[in-house]
A and B are shown apart, each in its own frame.
Chain A
Amino acid sequence: MSAEVTTFGPDRLSRHGRAASIALRMLKDRGFVVICILAATSSILVLSWLLWSILSSGLTYLDWAFLDDVPSRKPEKAGMGPAIIGSVLVCAVCAFFALPIGVGSAVFLEEYKPTKGKWVKRLHAFVQLNISNLAGVPSIVYGIIGLTVFVEMFGLFGSANDPALAIGSHPFEASDGSSYLEQAWYYFQLPIGRGVLAGALTLMLVILPVVIISAQEALRAVPDSLRHAALGVGATRWQMVSKVSLPAAVPGIMTGSILAMSRAIGEAAPMLVIAGIVFITYTPLHLMDDFTVMPLQIYEWAKKPQEAFHAVAASGIIVLLAVLLGFNALAVFIRNKFHKPLS
């Protein structure tokens, strides 16, 4: 080592000491690379081991009939048809509510951020802090909130079996003379009971903080120069948001939202509280109807004493993973398709 090498150590260090410190730094540098490689490979190893163990046990029962069949006590006949459709429906309804509310909140918090007034600013910071905190609340807590607020509606409208308000049902006379209420596809009641709508609204609570925060990040990434230019040529706030900053933020918003949706589809805990059903042979006819979701079905299979059902659970996990990967692929696709350079 020559003295030309610039070192940051104090001048009084001897030449020998300088060389030693450089060798040590190089060693640390190489050590860091090794640690990084170890971290990356260990996580990949764990993941591939997990995938291998699930695939090796789950492929036995995985066929087209598995996607369509109803649950059964016999492993070879068991399927997750109602659970798949339940999951898709609940997530669709959840997205229908969560996206507008989440993106709207993000626009309000970012684009209408208070610039003056000490108390308004503090209130804004307080709301912001609460949203970040809500993102960390365990989902079972939202399940319990959902049970009180959505399913029972604080008991304000009577019980779900005897609703105070019911639209879209009419008495139906069966062949044996008994009659029951037949419900149309648009059937609605208050309280909404343990149906698809209650499940979707509860999942909305779970993912809203994530949607809001990711949409805010996306809006923050839009350069202020674009907003200033729009306002400078005389655009109103509404025109600026709807024509400039929101379109520019769409790829980021969509990525965040779809990742949030893939969290929603994998949630078991709040659904256990809201629906709790694991044997169901029909799919929901309306938004108040009973349903189950994939994670619940998998949970029940994994708990069974029979070894064969653990393989059925693995098949269920493969289907759930495929759906999740589909969601993530969609997120990547949307980000790439709508991503336009801003300058």
Chain B
Amino acid sequence: MSFQKIGWVLLASALIATGIACERDTTGSDTGTVQIDGSSTVYPITEAVAEEFLAVQPRVRVPVGVSGTGGGFKRFTKSDTDISNASRPIKTKEAAAAKKNGVEFLELPVAYDGLSIVVHPKNDWANDLTIDELRSIFTEPSQVALWSEVRAGWPATKIKVYMPGADSGTFDYFKEVVAGKEGTIRSGKMFQTSEDDNVLVIGVAGDKGSIGFFGCAYFFENKDKLRAVSVVNPVNGESVLPTSDTIESGSYAPFSRPLFIYVNKKSLDTKPAVADFVDFYLEHSGDLATEVGYVRLPKEVMDRVKKNVAERKTGSHYLDAEGNKRSGPLSEVYN
């Protein structure tokens, strides 16, 4: 009977798979699992750290998921995971859920992502943009459709916008900076969205009047197809291009955004593998983040992060005692 034969083949393949799985290394002192889930923006850094960590501690298991910042927090606040990757600070509601479930956490910034505003390389007029001009392109109730309506003297070319979908942390951050808490980002024929940043790259690279935004890793990899626009810093009026240096120093404001990992305090205290992983992360995140296209944190901030881990300082710096949101540059908020 064919059923039997197929049954045996399936059984045999399952056994072989288990057999392969049983060959395990025996060096390194730590054992156990470090469960990580969360943002797909932070994922490349965590992946790189996990890869290097496993070279030192091969007996530890470090599975990393990409459920998104919100999906990751949902699991983290049920103590389903030890570490949650996040491309934005924890929200009041999520922090409340953690409290309800008795989950104490540490909030650790690990790198900067510079949100890059990009245009087609043949666009020779838009060298810099102010926040007000970005507002006129992106937010309601503006009706701007041509570049000439953004700044006098620019050509009457149609604007075409390529941007991440409303579910992404990148969109959230951009919206908060440009539109504020109450404002909304425009939509319509002029606006194309995609969850895949590579699609946005192709979109901007194929249209002379286009403008788009995404994480700097995608700009750094596609410098031959795109041109970044410098953003006028609203504080001192300087126009700044996104580079590793300007993002790290904070002069590329307000579009330098911090990326975080959140660590369950109980896991940190009871699982040596988690504690070693976090130490390893903070030690190497600068170099590894740079390698995968992000920007390292300034040394003072990283020193504060390490101090907070040593002191086991729990809670979010972005929420005050009443659970209200605090905002501002990382170096001011994080202490």
List chain A positions with a Cβ less than 8 A from chain B: 71-73, 85, 88-89, 92-93, 95-96, 99, 159-161, 172, 174-176, 178, 180, 185, 250, 254, 272, 275-285, 290, 300, 302-307, 310, 334, 338
From known contacts A280-B63, A281-B54, A290-B63, infer whether A305 and B18 are also in contact, taking CB-CB under 8 Å.
Answer: no
Q: How distant is the Cα of A110 from the Cα of B271 in the complex, in angstroms?
A: 56
B134 within 8 A of A: no
* Chain B 8-35 interface mask (CB, 8 Å, partner A; 1/0): 0011011001101110100001111000
The smallest C-beta distance from A107 to any residue of chain B, in angstroms, reads 13
The smallest C-beta distance from A126 to any residue of chain B, in angstroms, reads 30
Asked if A176 contacts B67 (CB within 8 A), the reply is no
In-complex Cβ contact of B47 among A71, A93, A305, A338 (8 A): A71
In-complex Cβ contact of A88 among B17, B48, B67, B78 (8 A): B17
Asked if A278 contacts B64 (CB within 8 A), the reply is yes
Nearest neighbor of A160 in chain B, beta-carbon distance = B80
- Which residues of B (43-79) have their CB < 8 Å from a CB of A? 43-44, 46-48, 50-51, 54, 61-67, 71, 78-79
Nearest neighbor of B19 in chain A, beta-carbon distance = A283
Asked if B20 contacts A281 (CB within 8 A), the reply is no
B221 within 8 A of A: yes
Q: How distant is the Cα of A277 from the Cα of B36 in the complex, in angstroms?
A: 9
Q: How distant is the Cα of A196 from the Cα of B254 in the complex, in angstroms?
A: 44
- Which residues of B (160-188) have their CB < 8 Å from a CB of A? none
The smallest C-beta distance from B305 to any residue of chain A, in angstroms, reads 22
Q: What are 22 sample pairs from A and B whose C-beta atoms fall under 8 A apart?
A: A71-B47, A72-B51, A73-B51, A89-B13, A89-B14, A92-B13, A159-B78, A174-B29, A178-B32, A180-B271, A185-B18, A250-B3, A272-B66, A275-B65, A276-B71, A279-B62, A280-B63, A283-B21, A285-B22, A290-B61, A300-B66, A303-B197
Number of contacting residues on B, CB 8 A? Answer: 53
Asked if A89 contacts B17 (CB within 8 A), the reply is yes
Asked if A180 contacts B80 (CB within 8 A), the reply is no
A-B CB pair tally, cutoff 8 Å:
125
B220 within 8 A of A: yes
Q: How distant is the Cα of A275 from the Cα of B47 in the complex, in angstroms?
A: 16
Residues of chain A lying within 8 A (CB to CB) of residue B3: 99, 250
Asked if A303 contacts B196 (CB within 8 A), the reply is yes
In-complex Cβ contact of B44 among A73, A180, A290 (8 A): A73
Asked if B63 contacts A305 (CB within 8 A), the reply is no
New A-B contacts (13) at CB < 8 Å, excluding given A250-B2, A303-B198: A71-B51, A73-B291, A96-B10, A159-B78, A176-B29, A254-B2, A277-B66, A282-B61, A285-B21, A302-B196, A305-B218, A306-B221, A307-B221
The smallest C-beta distance from B247 to any residue of chain A, in angstroms, reads 16
Asked if B272 contacts A276 (CB within 8 A), the reply is no
| List of 9 A-B pairs having minimum Cβ-Cβ separation, nearest first | A279-B64, A283-B21, A276-B65, A305-B221, A92-B10, A73-B48, A305-B218, A277-B65, A305-B217
B251 within 8 A of A: no
Asked if A161 contacts B48 (CB within 8 A), the reply is no
Most buried by A among B44, B46, B78: B44
Asked if B62 contacts A281 (CB within 8 A), the reply is yes
Asked if B292 contacts A92 (CB within 8 A), the reply is no
The smallest C-beta distance from B213 to any residue of chain A, in angstroms, reads 14
In-complex Cβ contact of B13 among A88, A159, A284 (8 A): A88
B249 within 8 A of A: no
